[in-house]
Structure 1
């Protein structure tokens, strides 16, 4: 029987999540089914770890803000208000940070909800952003920066970057493969 998707965020509180730096003040709040990082604070990560998976996550990045989705706590899918901008290194919205630019521009303007569907098998990554394939079976070279540690474990938590600026998330679910 195929694994079912599980909701990683219940929409009402932070059950199943912990702060990367519990000694620092965090800015994460929950309201209206939204996980909201209201200001620069700390990263938040799942208590559970995942190996190979399909992830669905929706986010809203305000104007000029910056965040990221860390697969296994090590490989960042960049979240950035970057529509219409170019970068000399992979740092635009949807980029595999510091490793690979997106294949096509699929970002929406700041302040609009965006959808990521990512599949990670071993070190191979495919991502759809807002329905467009932006990475097709890309081999991740290793941690991308800001990671939990410098290794490449078979499993790790989902981590959401909270130390760069405001961002909102909703409808976070994962299906282990």
Structure 2
């Protein structure tokens, strides 16, 4: 009788956990308040220092590969010193893997951008790519100029984890910049988390993430958690596949720390 009862209780618990997992929805981790203060800024472009590794020099994507198949080159379009998302070919990521670093990247949504919310100029800078698709730690890229969405999904948020401290997004058609200080997570020999990832971000020269401690890789559905140990990782750019006009990038460089 005790064994039967124990099995019955265990079954109920397992069933409850499974139902809870199935019941999770994207909106469960979306937050709309408080709304970050809008801050006006000018264009910020920073030339690479002498010890930087150039990830894009305006000529080609030789430092990048396809995320879906790292044996294949990155096929996004390079023209006039910038490269543009190609939603047909998927995400791209760096050939090289990195641990702790300082990164500068500039991006632009076109002046004639359409759509709204998450469907308006959506991409993502994955500070460490730890798998195919959208797996990793995402710093959101989005047109957040007079474009309402959940605050932990607007531009410069750590996606679904924290909103930016301010909203210094410039108008569509103008160049935006991120300056990122990334401290990668570390793991013990038993693959359990030793120290979490941390990130500091300046968006168009404005501090928007101040040594934020990540809860784990970013997730579209459910709570973030560190589930898989990993070492140095590539940096990934997302092809979100939105019907709105695609984003462009320029002047990308990195300094390992």
- The answer to whether TM tops 0.5 is yes
Two-structure CA RMSD over aligned residues (Å) = 2.5
Match of 1:142 in 2: 216
Q: Structure 2: how far apart are the matches of 1:52 and 1:76? A: 15
My pick for the range that moved more, 101-110 or 81-90, is 81-90
- Contact between 1:18 and 1:45, CA under 8 Å: does it hold in 2? yes
Greater gyration radius: 2
**Structure 1 residue 4 and structure 2 residue 84: aligned?**
no
| Greater fraction of residues in helix | 2
User: Shift of the alpha carbon at 1:174?
Assistant: 0.3
Gaps of 5+ in 2: 1-49, 114-119, 130-135, 185-196, 221-226
Q: Structure 1: how far apart are the matches of 2:83 and 2:93? A: 12
Match of 1:175 in 2: 255
Question: Which of 76, 93, 116 lines up with 1:45 in the alignment?
Answer: 93
For normalisation by structure 2, the TM-score amounts to: 0.61
Gaps of 5+ in 1: none
User: Shift of the alpha carbon at 1:40?
Assistant: 5.2
**Structure 1 residue 35 and structure 2 residue 83: aligned?**
yes
**Structure 1 residue 65 and structure 2 residue 142: aligned?**
no
Give 1:13-162 correspondences, 5 Å limit.
13-22=60-69, 28-39=76-87, 41-62=89-110, 63=113, 64-73=120-129, 74-88=136-150, 90-122=152-184, 123-145=197-219, 151=228, 153-162=230-239
For normalisation by structure 1, the TM-score amounts to: 0.87
Q: Judging changes above 3 Å, is the alpha-carbon distance between structure 1 residues 173 and 6 closer, same or farther for their aligned structure 2 residues?
A: same
